[in-house]
Amino acid sequence: MSAEPSDPRGRFTYWRLRFRAWRGTRPFWAGLFTLLSGVPIAYFPYADIKIGHLTMTMATTAGAGSLIIGVLLATLGLTMWFHSIVRVFAGVATILLALVSIPVSNLGGFVFGALLALVGGGLSLAWAPGRPADEEHADDPGDGRSAKHAAVRRQTFQPDGGAVDPGTPDGVGDGPLSPGPSDGDPNLTEMTAHANGGRNSAG
């Protein structure tokens, strides 16, 4: 049974939230700017601009190169959307194509297409996937301190002088000045310092 609601307003909200979730898992704006940058770069060399009774043809000898650059930019934009794992390569390639389009394709689609490509490539390089919500809550115990401090506060000590360390801050139980179990040795005090890999006895 589908979870999609039946009323039009509910369907719109459902698809809007799904699109928002899809957009948040990939460099959406980088791909959009890259897609849009390919349009002026590929279009202007083949366009005919009419000014009154005057027809001006923008075709140049580099029209084929402009078309190739425009298609590549559109492909890179789709790659950023549907294969974001290669976003760094796609961003670098987009920036290089934007620079190449300046001398090849009418100043990069009259600078407009080149600027869009540069912005899209930069956004693709800067984008990073977000962290899941459960990991963020695990790192923040609630009082603004880090999980390292929370692990230190959780250390408890036994009455016989030994220490129980349920969670050490760095995952290693034998750090300097860290309490450890007494192992039944009566010569060890409650707090023992670890030096040169061994325990210093108090007696």
Per-residue pLDDT, averaged over 83-94, amounts to 94
User: Are residues 177 and 199 in contact, defined by beta-carbon separation less than 8 angstroms?
Assistant: no
What pLDDT shows up at residue 52? 72
Mean pLDDT of 9-16: 88
Provide the pLDDT confidence category of residue 195 given band limits of 50, 70 and 90.
very low
Which of 10-24, 60-74, 140-154, 180-194: highest mean pLDDT?
A: 10-24
Confidence (pLDDT) at 63: 75
What is the distance between the alpha carbons of residues 42 and 97, in angstroms, rounded to a whole number? 12
Q: In angstroms, what CA-CA distances link 6 with 13, 15, 21, 118?
A: 11, 12, 21, 43
Q: Do the Cβ atoms of 113 and 41 come closer than 8 Å? A: yes
DSSP state of 142: S
Task: Spell out a b/e string for 39-61, using b for 16 or more CB atoms within 10 Å of the CB, else e.
Answer: bbbbbbbeeeeeeeeeeeeeeee
Over residues 93-99, mean pLDDT: 96
What pLDDT, on the 0 to 100 scale, is given for residue 61? 60
Query: Which amino acid type is present at position 134?
Result: D
- 29-85: pLDDT as tens digits: 999 999 999 999 988 877 776 777 776 666 656 678 888 999 999 999 999 999 989
pLDDT at 201: 45
